[in-house]
Amino acid sequence: MKVGAGRLASGSTPRDRTPDTYDTIGRGYRRLRVADPRIAARIRAALGDARTVCNVGAGAGSYEPTGRRVVPVEPSKAMLAQRPDGSGVRAVAERLPFEDGAFDASLAVLTLHHWTDAVAGLREMMRVSRRQVVLTFELHQDFWLERDYIPALGAYWRDRLLSPAEAGRILSATRIETVPIPWDCTDGFQTAYWRRPERYLEAEVRAGISTMALLPDRELESGLRRLARDLETGEWARRYATLLDRDAMDYGYRLLIAGR
């Protein structure tokens, strides 16, 4: 596997904003964003027999499969520093520094929404690998935290997010699988605590959720106060009683599988 100059499939040059973002908000990710074993199993299955994997937007290393040669690509110094051995290639998805077909597979897990040019990044994944596996999400109006307490959470991504369907078309995905979120999900992303609402009141938990970390406090405070009050009075449990018997929920997370 050789490192080359790389190129942008779209022919444009993205502005590299991700490092600044995660150098600020990503410092506790290794502690807060622990790979959920059920989601990890889905990703391993999607990678199939791939022996070499380029993990694009690798962060602190969650969901990287063992027993394969994985090359992490991550633009943020703060995220790279949290990796067990501090290894990784510092680069952006839109400009991968590898030759065409350098990997059996490329992987992107819950990172697409932070890329400056998601279309270019996906095309770069297609360029450097024969198979592409992408875990991403779409806006889901039925998530109670966004709908009833903090609408700004959904609004933040409305004009920034490439939908799974759109991403699938770019990749010519052969499968798009629904990934339900278990009630005790160990990976603390935005919908992970859908049956554990008290966790959203913890500053440390919010720091591990990029949208909550990026939004100004004034966008969160009113909704969090109402959530705290509803938890104290029992109103939350009454309003969302149907959730308390559910083991998993579909909140729009999709696993895209493309290539050979």
Residue 23 lies in a domain: yes
pLDDT at 157: 78
**pLDDT at position 31 over 80:** no
How deeply is 146 buried, as exposed, middle or buried, from its count of CB atoms within 10 A (0-12, 13-18, 19+)? buried
Sign of CA dihedral 200, 202, 207, 213: positive
Mean pLDDT, residues 222-228: 97
Tokens 């999607």 -> residue: 46
Residue 11 placed within a domain: no
For 171, other C-beta atoms within 10 Å of its C-beta total 20
Tokens 């307490």: give the residue: 149
Helices (H), 106-234: 118-128, 144, 152-158, 164-171, 203-207, 210-214, 217-233
Q: Check which CATH number belongs to the domain holding 60 and give it.
A: 3.40.50.150
Is 1 among the domain residues? no
Task: Count structural domains, the chain.
Answer: 1
Residue 10 lies in a domain: no
Q: Considering the domain boundaries, does residue 65 fall inside one?
A: yes
pLDDT value at 11 more than 60: no
pLDDT at 246: 97
pTM, two decimals, is 0.87
Distance between CA atoms of residues 86 and 208, nearest Å: 20
Distance CA 184, CA 227 (A): 20
What mean pLDDT value characterizes the chain? Answer: 87
Amino acid sitting at position 168 = G
pLDDT in tens, 132-189: 999 999 987 789 999 999 999 988 877 778 999 999 999 999 999 999 999 999 999 9
Q: Identify whether 12 is part of a domain.
A: no
Looking at residue 230, its pLDDT comes to: 98
* Per-residue pLDDT at 7: 32
Local structure of 152: helix, strand or coil: helix
Question: Band of the pLDDT at 127, cuts 50, 70, 90?
Answer: very high
- Domain interval for residue 109: 18-259
> Counting runs of H as helices and runs of E as strands, what totals does the chain give?
12, 8
